[in-house]
Amino acid sequence: MPPDESPAAVTARNEGWGTLRRFLPYLWPADRPALKRKIVFAVLLVLASKAITLALPFAYKRAVDAMGVPGGTAFQIAFAFVLAYVLGRFTGVVFDNLRNIVFERVGQEATRQLAVNTFTRLHQLSLRFHLARRTGEVTKTIDRGTKSIDVMLYFILFNIAPTVVELLAVAVIFYFSFGMGLVMATAIAVAAYVAVTRWITDWRNALREKMNRLDGQALARSVDSLLNYETVKYFNAEGREARRFEEAAQAYANAAVKSENSLGLLNIAQALITNLLMAGAMAYTVLEWSKGRHTVGDLVFVQTYLTQLFRPLDMLGMVYRTIRQGLIDMAQMFDLIDTPVEVADVPGAPALVISRPTLAFENVVFGYEPDRTILNGLSFEVPAGHQVALVGPSGAGKSTIARLVFRFYDPWSGRILIDGQDIRSVTQESLRQALGIVPQDSVLFNDTIGYNIAYGRDGAGMAEIELAARGAALGDLIARLPQGFDTEVGERGLKLSGGEKQRVAIARTLVKNPPILLLDEATSALDSRTEQDILATLHAVAEGRTSLTIAHRLSTIADADMILVLNEGRLAEQGAHAALLRKRGLYADMWQRQADAVEDAGVAAE
């Protein structure tokens, strides 16, 4: 038997009103009077259509009564009411479609605004959220949430609300035409209809969820078996695989049968309630007609009203399921919007103003998790116009420094200063405007080379793009490509080689033209020849800027003005390349290990 209530139904009810209240400002925007007028006009069309629908049985009744009266004028009267009935039906259809046309803009604008707000909020969330999120799950949440809005609005405003209005109007009409008995019978039948529909629909939803889960299981087993075709053959497991797939397919078939049978049960239960009411109401009318209290037209009158009333209720199961799921989908999207922002500007924060582009860390302590500290009181300074390198073993905290400078995270304690200004006290927009980065993995947008270069600064012109491309040594590549700057780079830039992607990333940074430049192991994934070409370009780009280079291969930063050596989140050594080698400390040991590795690789190649 169906359960009393599913957990999803409880969740939808508990969150439903709160979700609808959250959505109302999008449906009734305070700053969009034109949309408000459309909503009012659509509601008036709904009321007009419903008024016509409620008037149709009167015309039908009068036509039938006129046909039962002998006389020359009976034909004209009956014909006139038939024409009125047909015209009313047509007018009702016209009003319904005009309502859809008028309201379409309202629904689309509400959907668009909510989707834009959610998308904007996602970009405001911290890097921690984006590293932990499942991209497919987030995009699916947004997609389901936005798609449910239009359907929900349609059903709530143009199905449920008009049905309630019609139910109240029919109750009034039945009261004055037939008395309270028929009104009470209709009310009891509608209440039973709604309760049974909701009860069985909740049960059907649970069955359908199980059916979908088993369908996915059967599909997964078949795909897994076919992908491992050779392994199946190696172990003579064809029969075993067939049995496993048959078990999954049988389980799905059983669940599908229950799901479809439950639909039949729902239709039977609805039809039973509808026809019991119809039989009782029409039998009562016939009884009253036999006593001379009602006319033949009254029988048609009652039957038409009840048919009109239960026609939208026939969709109640689907409407209820859709609205409930829509509320859940919208609530999940609002949960995304409500995700707290970890890194936020302080109220009234000024913009960063740079006269001397210095960068300094003062006793910075930070970790990604409370029980694991990455930086332990780190302090160093990058003077204006200097090229400083940052090296150290894996896990020393090198890449964490770049994330802190861009303020993807805030340190637990200590300060990060640019030109003497704590970066937590200025706006993030102005901070990132002053910073440029060439990352280890240069990910490009699935667009053209020109678009990716111009991405460095909003509004960059073609002359700036070409100048940046020459500065990043991209001129030869662009000249060889038939479409030049309009060449598509593919998803994540995969149509370009590693070196070409790095050069596009460098050109993008040149378009931005920042005073402070971070090079985060920008050549670690390249071969030696490409690395040398990219290094020459990077050195040219860094000239005249304050630059911090995070390096894995020490040979790439030997000519830096200052080398900072990190170990376990602390500054272990600092100095120029030659001076650090003479110290015979951590840097000298790392240099020797890398030199030995290069020598071993050369011997192996011979």
Each residue of 66-97: pLDDT tens digit?
887 776 677 788 888 889 889 988 988 898 88
- The first and second tokens of residue 316, run together, are 């109640």
Domain ranges of the chain: 8-337, 359-434+514-605, 444-508
Quick one: pLDDT at residue 426? Answer: 92
Quick one: pLDDT at residue 526? Answer: 56
Residues 574, 380: contact at Cβ < 8 Å?
Answer: yes
Return the residue matching tokens 């049995």: 243
Return the residue matching tokens 């509808």: 274
DSSP one-letter string for 207-243: HHHHHHHHHHHHHHHHHHHHHTHHHHHHTT-HHHHHH
DSSP one-letter string for 433-496: HTEEEE-SS----SSBHHHHHHTTSTT--HHHHHHHHHHTT-HHHHHHSTTGGG-B--GGGTTS
Can you tell me the distance from the alpha carbon of 367 to that of 388, in angstroms, rounded to the nearest whole number? 23
Residues in a beta bridge with 421 = 418
CATH architecture of 359-434+514-605: 3-Layer(aba) Sandwich (3.40)
Contacts with 555 (C-beta within 8 Å, 6 or more apart), sequence order: 594
Quick one: pLDDT at residue 17? Answer: 66
Quick one: pLDDT at residue 361? Answer: 92
Q: What single letter denotes the amino acid at residue 136?
A: G
Can you tell me the distance from the alpha carbon of 209 to that of 215, in angstroms, rounded to the nearest whole number? 10
The superfamily (CATH) of domain 8-337 is ABC transporter type 1, transmembrane domain (1.20.1560.10)
Residues in a beta bridge with 574 = 564
Can you tell me the distance from the alpha carbon of 400 to that of 379, in angstroms, rounded to the nearest whole number? 14
Alpha helices in 30-160 (DSSP H): 33-67, 73-124, 127-132, 135-155
Residues of the chain under the 50 pLDDT cut = 1-14, 601-606
Question: What are φ and ψ of residue 228, in 5° steps?
Answer: -105, 40
Residues 421, 355: contact at Cβ < 8 Å?
Answer: no
Alpha helices in 125-160 (DSSP H): 127-132, 135-155
Q: What single letter denotes the amino acid at residue 52?
A: I
